[in-house]
Amino acid sequence: MAPMNGDTVKRMARDVFDYEISDADADAMANSTGAILTLSRHLGNLGLTGIEPPFGYPNLNAEAARLNGKKE
């Protein structure tokens, strides 16, 4: 995978979201994104098998039920 850099972040922000960001912000986002992408390669070693994704259907249903239960 090509390294993430500020120019790539700026281009994506402009092309995808029609949003302009500063060079400093783009560089900061690129550094954070690069670190996250690097760490994501190790997720398979964490033993997360069987854990429902945070936005999985059962969790969304449980959250909807919790929010609907608060109505009075």
The predicted-structure confidence for 7-45, as pLDDT tens digits, reads as follows 999 999 999 999 999 999 999 999 888 788 888 888 778
Q: Quick one: CA dihedral 45, 50, 52, 53, positive or negative?
A: positive
Q: Residue 28's pLDDT is what?
A: 93
Domain parsing of the chain, residue ranges: 1-44
Look at 46 and 28; give whichever has higher pLDDT: 28
pTM (2 decimals)?
Answer: 0.52
